[in-house]
Amino acid sequence: MTHRQHRVLGVDDSSDDLLFLQRALAQTEALALVATVRSGSDAIAYLGGEGRFSDRFLYPLPDLLLLDVKMPGIDGFGVLQWLRDHPLKCRVVVLTGSLADTDRHRAVALGAHAVCIKPVKPSDYGLLFAALEASLTENGDPVRSHASQARA
């Protein structure tokens, strides 16, 4: 039985983190990386279908947004605020290098479905995405049932 592939947009200013994300997602069956962008302003343009992202065939709306919080310019909180003002049917998982309680609470208050610490080792991305993949294929609601595992 084949499962629907859930489209993923990765947003991170770190080219290394985006590379790890790409490699790990290539190993999953249910998650398909449709694009990566390196800034909050590009994420907003992508999600809004603006400028170079206006062709939805080339730049489809994601089902899952993997969002770094700490970025120059418009950060992940700015993207979450934009999403709050422009609701999309997209789950948001915030990935951060440090999990300060104030950042976690702020991200959730702005609509993030989960806040996870970025994996330290590239191989740990696979564990995070396996939990996301299992959650999506079980009930269509990513990370709700696996958020505590992903935070470990």
Give the number of other Cβ atoms within 10 Å of residue 123's Cβ: 11
Q: What is the pLDDT of residues 96-113, one digit of tens each?
A: 887 678 888 999 999 998
Which domains does the chain show, CATH number per domain?
8-151 (3.40.50.2300)
Give the C-alpha separation, 112 to 94, whole Å: 7
Residue 132 backbone phi and psi in degrees, to 5: -65, -45
pTM for the whole structure: 0.84
Q: What is the pLDDT of residues 43-77, one digit of tens each?
A: 999 999 999 999 999 999 999 999 999 999 999 99
Give the number of other Cβ atoms within 10 Å of residue 141's Cβ: 11
Give the CA count within 13 Å in the CB-facing half-sphere of 8: 26
Residue 5 reports pLDDT greater than 90: no
pLDDT at 3: 59
- CA-wise closest residue to 44 among 52, 109, 133, 70: 52
- Looking at residues 129-136, what average pLDDT do you find? 70
Indicate if the alpha-carbon torsion angle 65, 71, 74, 78 is positive or negative: positive
